[in-house]
Amino acid sequence: MAQRRVVAANQSGKSIVTEDRSDLSNAFRAIPGFNPVVLWKTSPMPALRPEAAPEPGQNVVPEAGGTSLFIVTFPPDSVMMSSSFDPAAAGEETMRRLPGLAETFEMENPGMHRTATVDYDIVLEGEIWVEFDDNKEVHLKAGDVMVQHGTRHAWRNKGQHDAKLVFVLIGAN
């Protein structure tokens, strides 16, 4: 499913809409239902004018002081357990579509990763589990918010339906 992004700015002291797109998608072929859309990214000291929207191939993890805004749809884990699932194709597609983030995923522990960011994670739809180092899992449902400080974690959708989350990543040292 495509996401809509509306960008507003000041022009000569008046507020205007500079962009209104409803076709933003990053739906994966190798992981059916997985759609990690990077909606916006800012530099460490953003100005009060629109910066360029993120381009394909651009590092999606913000540098220290910068931000990245994602909406991610996670399909149920059963998609990755299917006999037709190709982990090599999924890995290649992740490297190509999520540069900067893909490199943080651990080969020996699928899904586990850590970024140098403070993350605000908000569950919009469905439910999802977050796994941490101590094997503790936190079950989140629509409306729940989690704040992470550079933690090693993995997202697991143990449910039967898609889960949709908003992620705001703030680059940290």
Query: By the 8 A CB rule, do 67 and 169 touch?
Result: yes
Other CB atoms within 10 A of residue 60 CB = 20
**Rounded to two decimals, what is the model's pTM?**
0.93
CA distance linking residue 78 with residue 30, whole number of Å: 14
Tell me what the mean pLDDT of segment 45-65 comes to.
85
Q: What is the pLDDT at residue 135?
A: 84
Looking at the domain assignment, is residue 142 inside a domain? Answer: yes
Looking at the domain assignment, is residue 155 inside a domain? Answer: yes
Query: By the 8 A CB rule, do 31 and 88 touch?
Result: no
Residue 172: HSE in the Cβ half-sphere, 13 Å Cα cutoff: 13
Looking at the domain assignment, is residue 1 inside a domain? Answer: no
Tell me what the mean pLDDT of segment 41-64 comes to.
86
Domain containing 120 — which CATH number?
A: 2.60.120.10
Describe the chain by its helix, strand, coil percentages, rounded to 5.
Answer: 10, 45, 45
Query: By the 8 A CB rule, do 25 and 63 touch?
Result: no
Looking at the domain assignment, is residue 72 inside a domain? Answer: yes
**If you average pLDDT over each of 38-42, 54-58, 128-132, which comes out highest?**
128-132
Looking at the domain assignment, is residue 12 inside a domain? Answer: no
Looking at the domain assignment, is residue 83 inside a domain? Answer: yes
Q: What is the pLDDT of residues 68-120, one digit of tens each?
A: 999 999 999 999 999 999 999 999 999 999 999 999 999 999 999 999 999 99
Tell me what the mean pLDDT of segment 123-132 comes to.
98
Total domains in the chain come to 1
**Domain interval for residue 117:** 26-171
Looking at the domain assignment, is residue 40 inside a domain? Answer: yes
Distance between alpha carbon 106 and the CA centroid of its chain, in Å? 17
Q: What is the pLDDT at residue 169?
A: 98
List the beta strands (DSSP E) in 25-141: 35-42, 67-74, 117-125, 127-132, 137-141
Looking at the domain assignment, is residue 7 inside a domain? Answer: no
Element holding 11 (H helix, E strand)? strand 3-11
